[in-house]
Structures are given as structure tokens and as C-alpha cells.
């Protein structure tokens, strides 16, 4: 096994930590030689003559601090280019603007609730056709593609049921058809555990609010690509639509990248411990964690990833009252939406993050009243396990059969 490789997974991407610390951060780009890129708050930049500038003219169009972040993320994704946006959904909006009315999007049926809501309630009203398909099954994806299909949108692992999609197989199916783009939402995995572009995706996007920033203090989106033409089109949209992040948020996210490798290793360690604990507990019906051999796509995730993030989903035995009591009694885990920060979070997808998904679709996807999603943070393992145990105890003491 190569040094640093998690058992059975791909080896770590070479030079990842070094690139996270140094790519795009060259002190020589600043007159001061600053080792840490400064926060450039100026909205406008002096020109030497009309139309002659030093690379920047207006901060929406380009900003030195944002530029440092985009270069660093591109390096970590193994990409030529990266663009930063005001949120993950702003990134989704910009990608969707590559299409025109009448075009079709195929989206994985199990996705982030905000993605589902945007496609159903916004994009479709703008004249786009959106079909939700189980992209874990290549025959379903193939059957859904028509001459009008221009975009296939997947996330893997999926939110919240943690299905794993074979990115390379999807890319092979998609690219048999001319002018169809494959987008992978890589939010759950981060650049440290998965590189969609190397597996055939055209676009890799993130809600950087989650693991890429990692500190629950920035809302941001990121998009990485290799194609020159695709980059130019997206760059034009970034400027024209104007959904760009602030320089200070770029500074914070850039700083978060410096510890991404260290954080993701600990997220994996803690999540595996939590998943094993829950899987052995009689009060738990089922645990879903791709890092467990019991996960149906465990072998697949080992083939395309270097490890697993801190996302663990499980079904508690009983009913909604048991789930709610469990969540209300957690002390180390905070009952809150979002994920990927250093702190541990727990939430109820059917009521919280995925409430906008139609009820019949939630039920078909397994997003039931007893489904609980955990974002396992960086706390001490024993404290996390003790917290889960006491909350489970409270749930079943208060609601005995």
C-alpha cells in the first residue's frame, strides 16, 4: 500500500498538500513580497492609459484575492481553470446559463435539495426541460438522453442517501452524444478525495461553503474545467451575471484550503468510527456510509476515490418521534443544516434540507421520517460516540414501545 493511502482506496493525489499551500500564492506577484496573499478590497484599479490595465479593471470582472483562490483550487482539482462564485447555487445558475430554452438537463434523482428546487422551480420556468434519473444505473441514463439533452448533472456520493455513481461510466455514456456536458457536484468529497475531471467529467463544481472552506464561515461556489472554450464561456457568465464572492470570503476559503488534507483525513477517521458504532447498535435500523463494506458501492468508491468524507446517514428504529428526540438530545453534534465544517452537525433531511423535494419523490428515494444525516466533524472520537449513545438512549427511554 502506498504511503498515506487508506486501505483499498486510490493513493493520495501527489503533491496535494504542497499545492494547497503554494499554488497561486507566489509572493513575487505582490510588490511587498507577502507570503500570505493580501485581501484586495478595492473595487476598481488604476489604468496606465485608457484600456491599458495591469490585469484588473473592476472587481466583479477580476480580483487579485479571488485570482489566488481560483489558481489554488484549479491545481487541487487537476484542472486548467477554476472560477469562484457567491454560492454553490450561484455556480449552478452560471452553469445552467450555458444552455438555452428548449434544452434538456438530466439530473440525478437523489441530489441536494437546493439543486432539486432550482431545477424544478426556476430552470423549468425559464424554458429548460429537467428529468430526474437514477444515474447509478447506466441503462437508465442512456435511455434518458435525447437529441435535446445538453447537460447531465450528478453528485456522488448523493445527498442525503450517499449513493455512489461511477463517474467514468457516466462520462462514457454521456460523451457518446455530441455536445452533452457532464457536471459532477463534488461538494461531499472535496478535491482531496475525488477528482471528477480526471474521470471524464467536463465540469467539477462545489459548494465551497462545505469541506473546501471547512470552517462554516463562508458561503461560496467553485467551478473547475479543463476546456478553454468552456472556461471562456463560464468566465463571461461569471462577469455578466455578477454572482461573485467577496475578496474577504476568497481570503478565508483560500486559508481553509491550507488544512484541507489534514481535515479530510480526520473527517474520514471519525466518520468511520461513527459508522461502525451505529452499525453495531440495535437501536439503528441501517447505516449508509461508503467507507463500510456493507455499502453497496463500497468497491466502486475505492476505485475512484482516495477516501471518504465525514458524511454518515442512518435510519433510526421507531418513527419520527424517535428521530426528533434523538436530534434534540444531541450535545456535541449541533442540530443544524449544512455540512463539512470542523464541527459535527446532525439534521433531519425530510424536514430540513430536503423539505422542498416533493413528498412522493422523498419517499421513493428513501428520505423517510427516520432518516438522519450526520456531518461528522473533527472532535475527539470518544466524545462523538458518547454523544450518539446518550441521544439514542434518550430517544428510546422517552418513546418506549
**What residues are annotated to the active site?**
60, 112, 185, 210
- The strand ranges marked E within 29-94 are 81-85
Strand partners, 205: 185, 223
Look up residue 184 and give its three cell numbers: 459532477
User: Other C-beta atoms within 10 Å of 361: how many?
Assistant: 15
Query: In 3-state terms, the chain is what percent helix, strand and coil (to 5)?
Result: 40, 15, 45
Separation CA 346–CA 97 (nearest Å):
34
Are 57 and 186 in contact by the 8 Å Cβ rule? The answer is no
- List phi, psi (to 5°) of 84: -105, 145
Output the CA torsion 97→98→101→103 (10° steps).
-130
Order of all β-strands in the sheet with 371-375: 284-288, 311-316, 371-375, 345-347, 334-335
C-alpha 111: how far from its chain's center? 11
CA-nearest of 238, 244, 270, 241 to 341 is 270
Identify which of 117, 114, 153, 78 has the alpha carbon closest to the alpha carbon of residue 339.
114
Whether omega for the bond prior to residue 203 falls within 30 degrees of 0, making it cis, is no
Give the 3-state secondary structure of residue 179.
coil
Amino acid at each position: 500500500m502506498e504511503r498515506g493511502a487508506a486501505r483499498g482506496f486510490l493513493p493520495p493525489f501527489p503533491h496535494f498538500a504542497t499545492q494547497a499551500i503554494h499554488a497561486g500564492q507566489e509572493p513575487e506577484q505582490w510588490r511587498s513580497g507577502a507570503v500570505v496573499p493580501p485581501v484586495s478590497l478595492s473595487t476598481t484599479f488604476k489604468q496606465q492609459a485608457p484600456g491599458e490595465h495591469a490585469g484588473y479593471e473592476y472587481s466583479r470582472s477580476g480580483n487579485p484575492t479571488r485570482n489566488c483562490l481560483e489558481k489554488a483550487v484549479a491545481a487541487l482539482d487537476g484542472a486548467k481553470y477554476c472560477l469562484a462564485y457567491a454560492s454553490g447555487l450561484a455556480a449552478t445558475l452560471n452553469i445552467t446559463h450555458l444552455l438555452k430554452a428548449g434544452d434538456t438537463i438530466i439530473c440525478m434523482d437523489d441530489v441536494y435539495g437546493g439543486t432539486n428546487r432550482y431545477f424544478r422551480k426556476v430552470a423549468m420556468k425559464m424554458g429548460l426541460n429537467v428529468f430526474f434519473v437514477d444515474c447509478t444505473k447506466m441503462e437508465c441514463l442512456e435511455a434518458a438522453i435525447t437529441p435535446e439533452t445538453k447537460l447531465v448533472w450528478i453528485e456522488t456520493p448523493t445527498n442525503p442517501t450517499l449513493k455512489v455513481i461511477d463517474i467514468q461510466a457516466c462520462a462514457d455514456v454521456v460523451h457518446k452524444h455530441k455536445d452533452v456536458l457532464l457536471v459532477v457536484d463534488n461538494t461531499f468529497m472535496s478535491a482531496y478525495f475525488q477528482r471528477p475531471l480526471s474521470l471524464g467529467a467536463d465540469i467539477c463544481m462545489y459548494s465551497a461553503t462545505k469541506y473546501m472552506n471547512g470552517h462554516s464561515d463562508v458561503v461560496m461556489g467553485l467551478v473547475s474545467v479543463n476546456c478553454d472554450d468552456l472556461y471562456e464561456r463560464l468566465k463571461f457568465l461569471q462577469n455578466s451575471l455578477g454572482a461573485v464572492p467577496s475578496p474577504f470570503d476568497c481570503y478565508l476559503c483560500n486559508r481553509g484550503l491550507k488544512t484541507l488534507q489534514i481535515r479530510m483525513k480526520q473527517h474520514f477517521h471519525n466518520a468511520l468510527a461513527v459508522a461502525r458504532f451505529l452499525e453495531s447498535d440495535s437501536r439503528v435500523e441501517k447505516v449508509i456510509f461508503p467507507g463500510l463494506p456493507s455499502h453497496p458501492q463500497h468497491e466502486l468508491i475505492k476505485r475512484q476515490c482516495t477516501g471518504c468524507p465525514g458524511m454518515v446517514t442512518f435510519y433510526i428504529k421507531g418513527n419520527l418521534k424517535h428521530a426528533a428526540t434523538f436530534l434534540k438530545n444531541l450535545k456535541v453534534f449541533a442540530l443544524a443544516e449544512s455540512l463539512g465544517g470542523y464541527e459535527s452537525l446532525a439534521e433531519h433531511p425530510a424536514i430540513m434540507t430536503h423539505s422542498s423535494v416533493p413528498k412522493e419523490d422523498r419517499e421513493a428515494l428513501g428520505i423517510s421520517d427516520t432518516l438522519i444525516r450526520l456531518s461528522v466533524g473533527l472532535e475527539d472520537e470518544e466524545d462523538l460516540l458518547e454523544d450518539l449513545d446518550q441521544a439514542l438512549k434518550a430517544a428510546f427511554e422517552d418513546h418506549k414501545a
